[in-house]
Amino acid sequence: MRHPICLSFAVCAALLTGTMTYAQEPALQLMPEDELRSFFVFGPEDGLKYAECDGKRAFTCTYIWGAPDEADALRIKMGGKPDGKKLLVIADRAANPSDFDRVLAVYKDAVPVEGLGIKAVWSRMRGQLSMLTSDNMVIHVNTDMTESDDKKAAAVTIANLVLGMQ
């Protein structure tokens, strides 16, 4: 099932209101379920339960998948999200490149990743790739709550997709 494309909160708002705002918003879009299936393990009963991008704090795309669960309807009714495996793609603009040093400070196991943005690191403990782009965008791809043969490779592939959207 293909999901609607949301280039960014600003683009979606512009489409609805006919005005462009938030020129600094990152250009992210939702990945379709079949693409997620190519990166992560889905069980035979699993399907994409939730896919949304929002800009409430940092711009975040959240994907949740798993087997149908009756409790999910109650979680959603109460303002929550369904239960399942989860992928997060988070982007926020740094004031300057040195702000990325704060990101690096929280990783005890940071391993440099070559070829992504200005700087990129992988944390096996966090299941997260973090990178800084040339326009001071800090992007995190968190695969910690997923199943994959290689979470780092999946995160790098997704990061490259994100870079291609900018």
pLDDT tens by residue, 84-122 = 999 999 999 999 999 999 989 999 999 999 999 999 999
Q: Apex CA 146: angle with CA 42 and CA 152, to 5°? A: 115
- pTM beyond 0.95: the answer is no
Could you tell me the residue ranges of all domains in the chain?
9-165
CB contact burial 106-119 (16+ within 10 A = b; e otherwise): ebeebeebeebbeb
The pLDDT-based confidence of 56 (bands split at 50, 70, 90) is confident
Please give the average per-residue pLDDT across 139-149, as a whole number. 93
Please say whether the structural domain 9-165 has been given the CATH code 3.40.1000: yes
Is residue 28 within 8 A of residue 8, CB to CB? The reply is yes
The pLDDT-based confidence of 30 (bands split at 50, 70, 90) is confident
Structure tokens that stand for 49 in this block = 């339960």
pLDDT of residue 166: 60
